[in-house]
Amino acid sequence: MKYPLTPDVKPEFCTTGTFMRLPSSRENAKLAVVGLPFDTAASFRVGARFAPQAVRQASMTLFPYHPIQKVFPFDECNAIDIGDVSVIPHNIHRSYELIESAMADLMKAGIIPIGIGGDHSVTLANLRAAAKIHGPVALLHFDSHTDTWDTYYEEKYWHGSPFIRAYEEGLLQSDKVFQIGIRGTLNHPGDIDSSTDLGYTVITTPQLKERGIADVVKEVKKTIGDTPCFLSFDIDFVDPSCAPGTGTLEVGGLNSFETLELIRSLHGFNFIGFDLVEVLPPYDPTQITSLLAATIIHDFASLVALKLRAEQEMPVENSQKN
C-alpha cells in the first residue's frame, strides 16, 4: 500500500490519528513526524500541548503530491509518524531528556525528524539531539522573537531562552545561525543585541521585505553551505491574520503565501531535522493555523525528498567525473 492514504482511498474524516494517515513504521524510513506536546515553559498563553493532534487532524485535507517541488514527499521518503513523546508536563528537564532521546534515536538511524511542538522550549532538546549525532549544527530559525532572553522570573529554561542555552551548551555553529522574521516591540533597545552578541545573524521582517526572499536566501545558502542544518519554525513568524492560533502574537508578519514561497526556496541545504512550534489549537477555532502548520510540514517533507533525490544522483555524477 502507498502512503499517505489519499482522500480518494479513504475519506478525510476517517483518520488513523497520524499525520496524513502515515504508518508508524516501515522499511527504509528516511523521515519521521514526531509529536512534542510540551507547553508549560510558555510565558503567556498555553495550549500548544494539543498542537500535534490538531496539526495531524488538519493534515487530512492535504494531498500527497507537491506541485511546486514536483515530488511525492512522504512516499519518496518512506515517511512514518511515530506518535508523541511522552513528556512530563510539569518537568521541563525530564521532558528534555525524553525528547532528546527520541530525536537522537531517529537521527542515529538516518531518519530526519519533523517535530510538532509544543512551545519553543522543545527546540533545545532537539538541538541537543542534533549535536549529539552531527556535532554543532547550523540553524535556520523563523520567528518573530529571537528567544535569546537569558531568564524569566529568574528561570533559565523557558520558551524565550532555547537559543541562548544552545549557545552556552555549544550546540550551534554561531556564525551559521540565522534568525529570520524578527519584529515587534521590545523590552529594551538592545534586545536584538542578545542574539548578535552571540554571533547570530538577525534579519528582521522589514529587512526581509526590503531585501526580498531571493536575496536573503542567497546569503543564507552562501554562509551555511553543506553544514548539517536544523530548521526551527515558530508559527508566530506568520502574520496573525493568517495564523491567529499562537501564544505571543506579533502583527506585521509575512502572509501565508509569502511564507510558503520562502520555505519552498530552501532547497539545497543539508537539513538534518525540523520542528514547528507554538500552534495553540484553543485559539484557532477555524483551524487555519493548524492547516498552515500542516502545509508547512508538507513543505519540509518536500525539501527532504529533494535532498534525497540529490544524494541519489550524486554517485552518478562523481563516477562520471572519475
Using CA atoms, how far residue 237 sits from 30, 98, 241, 306, in Å, is 27, 27, 12, 24
Using CA atoms, how far residue 152 sits from 23, 158, 160, 318, in Å, is 40, 7, 8, 52
**How does pLDDT run across 113-140, given as a tens digit for each residue?**
999 999 999 999 999 999 999 999 999 9
Q: Give the residue, 155 or 81, on which the prediction is more confident.
A: 81
Of 158, 128, 154, whose CA–CA distance to 275 is shortest? 128
Q: 126 φ, ψ to 5°?
A: -65, -40
**Mean pLDDT on 191-195:** 91
> What cell was used for 253?
508578519
> What cell was used for 252?
506585521
Q: Is 256 a domain residue?
A: yes
> What cell was used for 308?
534525497
Show the domain range for 159: 29-310
Q: Is 268 a domain residue?
A: yes
Confidence of residue 312 (pLDDT cuts 50, 70, 90): confident
What pLDDT score was predicted for residue 82?
A: 97
pTM value surpassing 0.85: yes
> What cell was used for 171?
550546540
Confidence of residue 243 (pLDDT cuts 50, 70, 90): very high
> What cell was used for 26?
516501515
Q: Is 4 a domain residue?
A: no
Among 9-23, 71-85, 134-148, the minimum mean pLDDT is found in 9-23
**How does pLDDT run across 26-55, given as a tens digit for each residue?**
999 999 999 999 999 988 889 999 999 999
Mean pLDDT of the chain: 93
Q: Is the pLDDT of residue 179 over 70?
A: yes
Q: Is 321 a domain residue?
A: no
What pLDDT score was predicted for residue 68?
A: 96
What pLDDT score was predicted for residue 321?
A: 45
Of 276, 236, 249, 247, whose CA–CA distance to 123 is shortest? 276
Contact 29, 10 (CB under 8 A): no
What pLDDT score was predicted for residue 322?
A: 36
Q: Is 99 a domain residue?
A: yes
Q: Are strands 31-36 and 112-117 parallel, antiparallel or unpaired?
A: parallel
Of 65, 108, 37, whose CA–CA distance to 279 is shortest? 37
Among 7-21, 123-137, 166-180, 243-257, the minimum mean pLDDT is found in 7-21
- Please tell me the total count of domains within the chain: 1
> What cell was used for 33?
513526524
CA distance 13 to 57: 9
What pLDDT score was predicted for residue 2?
A: 67
> What cell was used for 202?
538577525
Is there a binding annotation on residue 234?
yes
Q: 226 φ, ψ to 5°?
A: -100, 15
**How does pLDDT run across 84-106, given as a tens digit for each residue?**
999 999 999 999 999 999 999 99
What pLDDT score was predicted for residue 140?
A: 98
Q: Is 196 a domain residue?
A: yes
What pLDDT score was predicted for residue 319?
A: 40
Using CA atoms, how far residue 316 sits from 66, 220, 271, 312, in Å, is 26, 28, 22, 8
Q: Which residue has the cell 501564544?
A: 247
Give 3-state DSSP helix, strand, coil % of the chain, rounded to 5. 40, 20, 40
> What cell was used for 29?
524510513
Is there a binding annotation on residue 143?
yes
**Mean pLDDT on 165-191:** 94
What pLDDT score was predicted for residue 320?
A: 45
**How does pLDDT run across 55-71, given as a tens digit for each residue?**
999 999 999 999 999 99
Q: Is 6 a domain residue?
A: no
Is there a binding annotation on residue 236?
yes
CA distance 263 to 105: 26
Of 251, 309, 257, whose CA–CA distance to 76 is shortest? 309
What pLDDT score was predicted for residue 190?
A: 81
Contact 121, 144 (CB under 8 A): no
Q: Are strands 201-204 and 229-234 parallel, antiparallel or unpaired?
A: unpaired
Q: Is 186 a domain residue?
A: yes
What pLDDT score was predicted for residue 287?
A: 96
CA distance 181 to 236: 9
Is there a binding annotation on residue 145?
yes
CA distance 291 to 14: 17
CA distance 143 to 282: 21
Give the CATH number of the domain where residue 297 resides. 3.40.800.10
The helix/strand count (H/E) of the chain reads as: 10, 8
